[in-house]
Structure 1
């Protein structure tokens, strides 16, 4: 197995396209390791399955962002906007996290999420019609732009009360803040933080003036447990939008790519129905984790994770979900896409950590699963002859260590479609 590079550069295109050999080398040698990053800092990467679960459940790993996780940045309007929008519950510990999570959990209860199924079906069918028209007109289409992106944006937009007309701008801004600055033109990240701050400030004012039946209106006017202050509302809006579409977009795109490159698995899903489609979703979450890593943690004291892995107090720590989900000690043949490992029966695979673990387990996980399990069979039923129109190994991927998925997914459909 090749040794990992001395310096990890998350903005490198080849790493973004296929980070798994690096993680496998690191995991086999040092599943908890201090690595040098291209931005001049060091961090501890946790790549083993058991170690990742341990970190995510251990309160000694604080979610309050470590100040040393990136380059020092001078004060500016963009930095102040970023600091405000970063006050969300993923970047907090108990008791603040407990209060913030309780205020949002009701909106993502099983009953409320499951009630969205008919609307998700309608939105999916509308996008399928639009995709068919685009394929008829142009002969090809980008499945990310035409399907994987708009569906979760439309769904979370309805949940939050975000106007559909704003979705393209919000996508551009959230893409930038989720990417390493080195991968973008100078100033792009700062501009995106400033724009997001301004947008959500205006959205809060609008919800106060004319509340609707959406979740964000409820949060703006909720006074239980003291409610949310303006800064918390801004941060909550950013988190729910970013988490509500970014991860589901990457799940839909990655699952589609896996099915297009594994036609026997697509045939099995078509043949076997809903249970098999649910297994496809679970295996796509494991195999192509839409969140590559968690948000940064900081050790509040020295922590011994065993096997000589002692992390000092005040260290920056990143649990790499994409690596934990391919740990061969928990997932035999981990690099293979095998939905049958999540079928019914005693041989069912270990739970993956695509949605995290512990107190910060993703509150929207049920909605993401519902969207994928609803949309994917309708998409592939509508286009039985769909083909990938690019070499899979050359597709561009999101840079960075936070989110992961193909940026473009060009497809064609057979004339009989």
Structure 2
């Protein structure tokens, strides 16, 4: 095994790709020591990643925690409830939960949001532009990439706008490795999330609307969610509903600021150009660094002399698979043209996963980016970085990836 991987390390978070490339040189999957004293198999090869994500021998049901058992308490109970979401299930149970959530993400329902997303984008950009026009440095994460998807998912789910900042803070903390935060912050965030969603669901039962939480809370179907499942679903849909899109928007803007020729090409080519930028950002700067953890139910031969033993913890590293040089030519380069019409088309990236757990919200994330990115650069065509892009801090951990801040100003 290599030197222990510390997901909270700032240098690793900023640029994990050399580590993944070195790991891939050892094979399509390798056992890695983690800084918390455990070890896991990280899958970095593209074809092997697709195979694992579609293989039922790799279970999404979390394995019992190893090592000394931590004391029970409010945080442990809250975490146990909120982690019972559909990404931590398999088979028929997963299909039931996915069917109930999918009602909000059909192509017809998502596409019908186009005008509303445009209106919300214009509202966000009006405030951002006013500040930038006054000479202020603005942050494309806090002032653009975060508020827009939160407003969109809040409308879909029925989360009041006044709660979005608290929810962002709590979900950020529960998605961070323990070493990145002060002691107790993660436990407090789990308790706050549990308390908040319990109150929100109770309110939806008393005063239902047409939002997804109201529909799920009053569903009379025999397969309807019980209270624990509903709490877990609320947490997952909110977290996944803005986190991926926020990182996609921030990373795409950052890439275009550093590649003005690609920005001009997208503006010249219209929708096809912007679609290529979005797909290449999803590949090159995967908003999800890795999938949820899996456990091998038996020994599985992944080829190339690599066999994952039964009982092993397995993480499919999407960010690494999307830069596999055996699949993507010049994988470390940002080249939207590889996804342009008539280019021969690169193989599909794995930014939204693959197999039965492929992301339900992929169409919504793409739509938000297709609407928002052209509007951003039309409203502020002379944006320039206000800090060295190579020094920007990134979100720590192995689950989600994106810059924590993208400071810019008008030229």
TM-score by length of 2: 0.98
In 1: Cα distance, 2:128 partner to 2:317 partner: 34
Given candidates 95, 102, 106, the residue that maps to 1:105 is 102
Name 1:386's counterpart in structure 2. 383
- Give RMSD over aligned pairs: 1.2
Check conservation: 1:397, 1:406, Cα contact below 8 A: yes
1:138–1:198: structure 2 CA closer, same or farther, 3 Å change rule?
farther
Tell me the CA shift for residue 392 of structure 1: 0.8
SS at match of 2:90: coil
Given candidates 48, 66, 76, the residue that maps to 1:51 is 48
Per-residue CA distance 1:198-250 (angstroms, 9 max, x = gap): 00000010000000110110011112242000000000000000000011000
Query: Mean alpha-carbon deviation: is it higher for 257-266 or for 68-77?
Result: 68-77
Per-residue CA distance 1:155-181 (angstroms, 9 max, x = gap): 000000000000000000000001001
Tell me the CA shift for residue 14 of structure 1: 0.1
Tell me the CA shift for residue 309 of structure 1: 1.2
SS at match of 1:378: helix
Tell me the CA shift for residue 5 of structure 1: 4.7
Task: Give matches, 1:401-416, under 5 Å.
Answer: 401-414=398-411
Name 1:349's counterpart in structure 2. 346
Check conservation: 2:135, 2:409, Cα contact below 8 A: no
**Is 1:234–2:231 an aligned residue pair?**
yes
1:75–1:211: structure 2 CA closer, same or farther, 3 Å change rule?
same
In 1: Cα distance, 2:343 partner to 2:46 partner: 20
Check conservation: 1:255, 1:281, Cα contact below 8 A: yes
SS at match of 1:305: strand
Count residues in correspondence: 411
Given candidates 22, 26, 31, the residue that maps to 2:28 is 31
Check conservation: 1:85, 1:235, Cα contact below 8 A: yes
SS at match of 2:315: strand
1:72–1:130: structure 2 CA closer, same or farther, 3 Å change rule?
farther
Tell me the CA shift for residue 68 of structure 1: 4.2
**Is 1:210–2:201 an aligned residue pair?**
no
Tell me the CA shift for residue 136 of structure 1: 2.9
Check conservation: 2:27, 2:304, Cα contact below 8 A: no
- The structure 1 segments of at least 4 consecutive aligned residues displaced by more than 6 Å after TM superposition are none
1:225–1:272: structure 2 CA closer, same or farther, 3 Å change rule?
same
**Is 1:66–2:63 an aligned residue pair?**
yes
Given candidates 249, 261, 265, the residue that maps to 1:268 is 265
SS at match of 1:95: helix
Name 2:139's counterpart in structure 1. 142
In 2: Cα distance, 1:171 partner to 1:294 partner: 20
**Is 1:84–2:84 an aligned residue pair?**
no
1:46–1:380: structure 2 CA closer, same or farther, 3 Å change rule?
same
Name 1:247's counterpart in structure 2. 244
Given candidates 125, 129, 142, the residue that maps to 1:128 is 125
Tell me the CA shift for residue 73 of structure 1: 3.0
Tell me the CA shift for residue 67 of structure 1: 2.9
Tell me the CA shift for residue 134 of structure 1: 1.6
1:71–1:32: structure 2 CA closer, same or farther, 3 Å change rule?
farther
In 1: Cα distance, 2:122 partner to 2:161 partner: 17
Tell me the CA shift for residue 30 of structure 1: 2.2
SS at match of 1:281: helix
1:269–1:211: structure 2 CA closer, same or farther, 3 Å change rule?
same
Check conservation: 1:40, 1:71, Cα contact below 8 A: no
Gaps of 5+ in 2: none
Tell me the CA shift for residue 153 of structure 1: 0.1
SS at match of 2:91: coil
Name 1:330's counterpart in structure 2. 327
Task: Give matches, 1:279-294, under 5 Å.
Answer: 279-294=276-291
Tell me the CA shift for residue 138 of structure 1: 4.9
Tell me the CA shift for residue 72 of structure 1: 4.9
